[in-house]
Each structure stands twice: as structure tokens, then as C-alpha cells.
Chain A
Amino acid sequence: MRTILFIIQKEFRQIFRNKAMLPIIFVLPFIQLLVLSNAASFEVKNIKFSYVDNDHSAASRELISKFQSSSYFVMVDAFSSKKEANVQMQKGKVDVILEIPNHFESYLVADKKASLAVSINAIDGAAAGVTNVYITQIINSYNQKTQSKLYQYNDNSFVQPQSIITIPSFWFNNNLNYKTLMVPGILVLLVTMLTLFLAAMNIVREKEMGTLEQINVTPIKKHQFIIGKLFPFWVLGLFILTIGLVIAKLAFQIPIVGNIGLIYLFTAVYLLVILGLGLFISNYTDTQQQAMFIAWFLTVIFILMSGLFTPIESMPVWAQQITRFNPIRYFVEIIRMVMLKGATFSDISTPFFIIAFYAFAINGLAVWSYKKTN
């Protein structure tokens, strides 16, 4: 026990003496959390809106004013012809062209229906889809208003407009604030990346410096060495989580509905998976550079297949099966469930036991291969 404590002490000393790594461990993650959470946005805002009004009627002006008053759209210009507008679309100056045809108002009054042409820049398909939803919403609400008006005009009698209004209720994230979704996810990412990289590089470093050879001639036991080497990074992982949660609460007002102890319990086990993976990587590499590359390669796959940026449900089935082996996937799922939904242990017990099993498996494998290579 004394030996383990001494190695841990030595490890912490080395971490705090590494002037190049200190800011990477203690400053960069939190800057990343602050910057990424604000930048990695799915919201589509500042859509450059333009229109071609061929009708110049009260009805067309009213429709255009609807767009003007929306906070999602920025009015760029009115064009006299579609051709002119298309040129600007080509140049990337406008994202949306709304074309109002001639006799728009008269058709609307006479036939109670009229058509509109909408062109959307779809280079970013996802953004175009969102833009289309916004436009449809605005046109729908315009439609309902004019319909009720038209009924009144034509029949000279008051008719109750017939329409169904849906009022969606968004559970767990009432305002559809994407930060509520992203901040816990990015926090997971930072905790994972840092602990994986540091753990993988740490043991390789001893190999690279030749100190591992010196250590191997001593009567120190494998478990003492491994625990002593990895424990500091386990602590570091929990430390980053703590600071991250504080930032999430104070800077982003992310609700923490569930039991915070549950998040720590899960992270404690989850970090064992990551540290085991780091040990495993370092067993099969000889230099910090190699370890870095492998860790980076794995992290990219883990992140993209974690459901952090793209929902797992929309992946092809085979990809969904692969994500079952991705520890980040479970962490993202659980931290969101506990923080936003207030999930209890029984809700997250399945992923919890899966992660516990992975921790057991990868560490067993890592310790076993550690023996073999020496």
C-alpha cells in the first residue's frame, strides 16, 4: 500500500512539473467547454431572406412583413425578377428566395387558394430542412389568418374559422435549447479525451525514457505499478467532470434534475474503461507519438458514433450495432438522462452494467497483455 501511495505521489509530482501539459489539463478543457458549447449549434439563424414580389398587393406585403418580423430571417433585398434573385443565390448572398406570383391576392380572394414559389439554398441539407420548416410555419400562420378574414369578407356573416391548432409540449428541454443537449455531451467528450490521452501516453513515456526497464528490475508488483500509474488520472477525470458540471450549471444554466451522485458513480466506473483502454494502447506502442495516434483514431470514431452530434436512431442498423461497443455512447446517454430527465439508478442500470462489464473486460485484457510484453 505504501508503494502504491508513493507511486501516486510521484505521478502527481510529475504531472504538476510538466509545464507544457498543465494548461492542457487544467485550462484548455474548460475553454473548450465554453467555446464549443456556444459554437456547436444546430440552430439555424440569420437566414438571408429575399423576395420577388410580382403582385404588389396588400396580401403580398402582409406576407413579407411576417418574414421581416421573424427573428430567424435577415432581410437582404427585394428583387424585381427571379432571374436577378437567382444570380444572388449563385453568389451565396441569399439563402431563401420567396416568389410571389402576379394576381396572388385576387386568386386568394376568388379561389381561396394561391401558390408561392420558395427556393432554398440546400448546400447544407440539414440547415435547408430547418429553414423550410420555419418558412412553412410562417406561411401556415399567415394562411390561417387570411382564411378567417376571407370568410368574413365573402359571406358577410361571421364564420368561426375551422382550424386545428397543435401546441407541442417539449419534455425535458422546454425551450428546445440546444445547449441543454450539447453541454453534457461535450463534457463527456472532454473527460474521455483527456483521460484516454494522458493515460495512454503516460506509461509509454516510461518506456520511452527507459525508466520502465529500471522499474521492471525492482520487486514492485504489476498491480501496484498499474494502480499507482492510473489512479491519478482517475482522480483527474473526476476533477474535470466536477469543474465541467459547475460550468454547466453556472455559465449555461443547464438543469441538473437527477441525482448528481449517480453521475459520479457512473463516471467512476466509466473512467476505468477509458484508463484500461489507455493501458492497453500503451502496451502495444513504443513511443508517445504512436500512442497519441491510436488514441486519437479511436476517439474520433467514438465521438462520431456516440450519438453526441447525430442521433444513433438515425444511423443505419449496422452502425447502430457498432455503437454498442462505444463507451462514450453510454456516457452521453446516461449523463443526458440523469441531468435532464432525472433518471434514477433503475433507469440506467442496463447501460451501467454494460459499462461495468466493459471495465472488467478491458482491464483484464490490458493487464494480461502488459504481462506478455514484458
Chain B
Amino acid sequence: MSIQVQNISKSYQNNLAVNALTFEVKEGELFGLIGPDGAGKTTLFRILTTLLLANEGTATVAGFDVVKDYKSIRSVVGYMPGKFSLYQDLTIEENLNFFATIFGTKLEENYDLIKDIYVQIEPFKKRRAGKLSGGMKQKLALCCALIHKPKVLFLDEPTTGVDPVSRKEFWEMLKRLQQKGITILVSTPYMDEAALCDRIALIQKGSILKIDTPDQIIQNYDKTIYDVQSKNTHQLLHDLKNYPTQYSVFAFGEFIHYIDKNEAFNSDELENYLKEKGHQELVIKKSKTTIEDVFMDLTNLKQ
């Protein structure tokens, strides 16, 4: 096991940020923590990277205890915080050399690991980090986190505030790193990125709602979701919520996702109901379940 978390809790004053979390990440796995802002992802990262002490529970990273062996952990993990935190007034090259030095290594030593990423920013190596674009900053931060060939890589919301193309590129980079045997724990608020992980944990308000592979999570979902669309979306949302057997209704892109309480639900009955309400250009069809649907359902249940 690369990461083991047992019953970890942490509260700030009276606010419970992380509530008795337990999960494991296998070696070489790309594990995603999926949850909205304030779910406790960053707190968990800070505990696992030895920046914060948990109130309760134990955790190990790469076989080291986060409290007792914190020193050993610091030399085998790479951490990329959510906020860009490299020296803005040093150049790309100087930042890399600096982090290489404090990890007791050299840029050349693990060059093959970061080569793919580094070549993309190498033309700007004399440029100061503060003057880089968001995507380049992120690549530099990843290089710095990898410079000492860590066994475990922690990425806290690495794609927040990054454009869709760079996001896609970034996930491709992660896949390649994974193939080199690095365990990766990544957090993200974007549900569409969840499908790219080996396994995911859906977390909210400091608790884990579900842990599984993205496919399993979708397959195990027992309810049928319908895409509903009409000309007047606002009215439609209102009318669907008033439908007697509705289980959940929420906007999802251009459609509204509708779930019924009854297993023997007939979409024609709903169609008639909506037509009576005067909806035009009505579309009702079965939808493909996504992680977001499951997440929304699970959070509804909790509330």
C-alpha cells in the first residue's frame, strides 16, 4: 500500500474539516479525491504531506507514519499545492536547481522523469516564474515536485484555473508518470476528470461518500436518469420539481436531469404531464449516467 489512511479526523476550532476518513491507495495507482470546495481535500493533503497534524487517526505514506517518520516522508513525496508557490522572482531554471539542491539531488539526475514536461517550458528557462502563463507555471510546479523522483505525488487541485487544452495535456502527463511507477493522489472539483483516475473517492464535508473505480461507481448506480429539455428551462425545472413521483431534479448542461422514485416509471406519463403544463419542443430520453449524477444523488441523500 502506498497510502493508508485510518480514521483521520481534523477540526479547526469547532469546524470538522475531515471526519474519520479511511481509505487506501495502492502502489502505482492514480487515485482521485473528488469533491467540491470545502470538502476537506486540502486538509487531507496537508496531513499526508506532514504539514498538519491530525486530531485523530493514523496515516502512512510510502510505508512511513505521518507523525513519527515525517522526515522520511518529506524526502519521498512530491507536493504541488493548489496555489502556485514557487519563487516568482527566480527563473524557471533557478527554481528547478533550487529545489533539486534542497532535495540533495541535481537536475540531470532525474532528468528523464521530467523530460517530457521540461522540454515544453525549456525555451523559457531564463524567464522568471512570475511572468509565466498559468499552464506553464503549472508545468514548472510539476517539474519541481518531481525533481527528486518521489514515490508518491500529491497534487492539490492542479487543474483549477487552467484552460481546457492544458487540462487535457496535464492529465496525459499524469498518465505517463503513473506508468513510471509513481503513485499519484490528485484532488479536483471537476467531475469530468474523475473518469481519468483509476479509482476515486467522492468526498463531501469531510466524509467519503463512495470509493471505487469510476466505471464501477456508474454501473452500481441503480436509478435511471432522464434528460429532459424544453423551450422554457426555468418553468420546466419548476414543473418537474412539482411532479408527484420526482426523486431528484437538477440542471445539467443543456438538459435537466430527472430521476423518478418509481422503478416502473413511464416517461410517457411525464410527457403528458409536461405537455399539459404547456411545454413546447419537449425532449425526454434516457441519459448516460455520469460521476456527477452519482455525486449529486449521494449528496442529496446526505442532506
Within B67-126, which residues are at the interface with A (CB < 8 Å)? 71, 74-75, 77, 79, 81, 83-90, 94, 97-99, 101-104
Contacts of A2 in B (CB 8 A): 101
Are A217 and B89 closer than 8 Å at their CB atoms? no
A210 to B46, CA, bound (A): 13
Are B74 and A213 closer than 8 Å at their CB atoms? no
Q: Is A215 an interface residue (CB 8 A)?
A: yes
Q: Is B51 an interface residue (CB 8 A)?
A: yes
Q: Is B50 an interface residue (CB 8 A)?
A: yes
Are A6 and B98 closer than 8 Å at their CB atoms? yes
Are B102 and A219 closer than 8 Å at their CB atoms? yes
Q: Is A218 an interface residue (CB 8 A)?
A: yes
Are A211 and B71 closer than 8 Å at their CB atoms? no
Nearest neighbor of A15 in chain B, beta-carbon distance: B89
Contacts of B102 in A (CB 8 A): 3, 6-7, 215, 218-220
Are A219 and B74 closer than 8 Å at their CB atoms? yes
A244 to B55, CA, bound (A): 53
Q: Is B49 an interface residue (CB 8 A)?
A: yes
Nearest neighbor of A6 in chain B, beta-carbon distance: B101
- Please give the distance in Å from A150's CB to the nearest CB on chain B: 81
Nearest neighbor of B154 in chain A, beta-carbon distance: A217
* A interface residues, how many (CB within 8 angstroms): 21
Contacts of B101 in A (CB 8 A): 2-3, 6
Within A206-238, which residues are at the interface with B (CB < 8 Å)? 209-211, 213-220
Are B89 and A211 closer than 8 Å at their CB atoms? no
Are B85 and A211 closer than 8 Å at their CB atoms? yes
- Provide the B120-136 mask, 1 if CB < 8 A to any CB of A, else 0: 00000000100000000
Nearest neighbor of A217 in chain B, beta-carbon distance: B79
Contacts of A7 in B (CB 8 A): 102
Q: Is A10 an interface residue (CB 8 A)?
A: yes
Are A210 and B74 closer than 8 Å at their CB atoms? no
Q: Is A91 an interface residue (CB 8 A)?
A: no
Residue among B49, B85, B97, B98 making CB contact with A209, cutoff 8 Å: B85
A277 to B246, CA, bound (A): 66
A211 to B129, CA, bound (A): 13
Q: Is A371 an interface residue (CB 8 A)?
A: no
Are B87 and A10 closer than 8 Å at their CB atoms? yes
A2 to B105, CA, bound (A): 11
Nearest neighbor of A218 in chain B, beta-carbon distance: B102
Can you name 7 extra interface pairs (CB under 8 A) apart from A209-B85, A211-B86? A3-B102, A6-B102, A7-B102, A10-B94, A217-B50, A218-B99, A219-B71
21 sample A-B contacts, Cβ–Cβ < 8 Å, listed by A number: A2-B101, A3-B101, A3-B102, A6-B97, A10-B94, A10-B98, A18-B89, A209-B88, A210-B81, A210-B83, A210-B85, A211-B86, A214-B86, A214-B99, A214-B144, A216-B51, A217-B49, A217-B50, A218-B102, A218-B103, A374-B51
- Taking Cβ atoms with an 8 Å cutoff, the residues of A that contact B are 2-3, 6-7, 10, 13-14, 17-18, 209-211, 213-220, 374
